[in-house]
Structure 1
């Protein structure tokens, strides 16, 4: 007898984006984990490792000092929705218009973001460098990928409908120009 896959039932249609957002909001993720909508699926991944804390704090403090008027730099676990792409991400660090947090609900509009920073790990590297790069690249002015394995940080800027137009990578310990709307030089000596 030849072995073959046996369908259990009719293939179900993918859940609508808003339904998935509600599911994520209702999830009781384990301590130390976050849920995001990546490639149309709910993905649960761990928060950044302990060794990222000092670097996250240094980055947040420098960004807050140069953030656009009315924007806050934060590492709190909030989900930002990108409805056109049917995605929702919880960045490791973000700078966003503070007014976006005056609404009821659990998901802020991705259009409120002026900067996102992801601390890439083994479990998130693919999404950070591909999936999120594509979605952020059409809307968010600045995207920083902090690669803890390669000890470097990459700055993407100048978003367009085809993704970011500018990319610059430097090693930890160097300086990195963060473009508008920040316009300052990031000191990576603490990295």
Structure 2
């Protein structure tokens, strides 16, 4: 099988038994991040330094404000409640601390308090359209989307019937105040870097 990605052709040998199997093989290729949303495999490059800096700033701000039984986690994925093969890998999730003692890498959606995506230049539709829909359908209480292209922040909350009913728009420099289940926690965005060009 051959998978074609921007500026790159990848050959995969052997039998592919499922979408998850194909995703696992693709994720072994250095520099690629792989997710399955709506039965489609999404492949994106490793995030940029500015992207990573925002995630690190979020971890540093959130960790001391979270209850003792919650943690910010940048390396787990969240499992779809709709399809056994679908999963997303947010840039950051807030999950129970005890999850770190479990085997595996997929967090059930019903234990995720918040998913955060920093919009990547090469993955805009996934972060701005596909993921808000998926996270709402999966019942994740808060979706925070940070867009360094233009300095926008969108806070989605209150998922009902597969849609977020709450939406608050911010710009870099604003203080973002989170709703339940993370009520009382705030994020300062004035130091978030923007993408150049």
> Which TM-score band (shorter chain)?
0.7 to 0.9
Residue in 1 that maps onto 2:5: none
Residue in 2 that maps onto 1:80: 78
- In 2, distance between residues paired with 1:190 and 1:21? 37
CA distance 1:75–1:106, change in 2 (3 Å): closer
Alignment gaps of 5+ in structure 2: 1-16, 193-197
Give the TM-score of the pair, scaled to structure 1.
0.80
Q: Computing the radius of gyration over CA atoms, which structure comes out larger, 1 or 2? A: 1
Is the contact made by 1:66 and 1:182 (CA closer than 8 Å) also made in structure 2?
Answer: no
Report the CA distance between 1:103 and its aligned residue: 3.5
Report the CA distance between 1:27 and its aligned residue: 4.2
Is the contact made by 2:63 and 2:71 (CA closer than 8 Å) also made in structure 1?
Answer: yes
1:1-22 deviations in Å (ceiling 9; x for gaps):
xxxxxxxxxxxxxxxxx93234
Report the CA distance between 1:40 and its aligned residue: 0.6
Give the TM-score of the pair, scaled to structure 2.
0.78
Cα root mean square deviation, aligned: 2.1
Aligned residues: 173
Alignment gaps of 5+ in structure 1: 1-17
Does 2:128 correspond to 1:105?
no
CA distance 1:41–1:167, change in 2 (3 Å): same
Residue in 2 that maps onto 1:10: none
What secondary structure, in the 3-state scheme, does the structure 2 residue paired with 1:137 have? helix
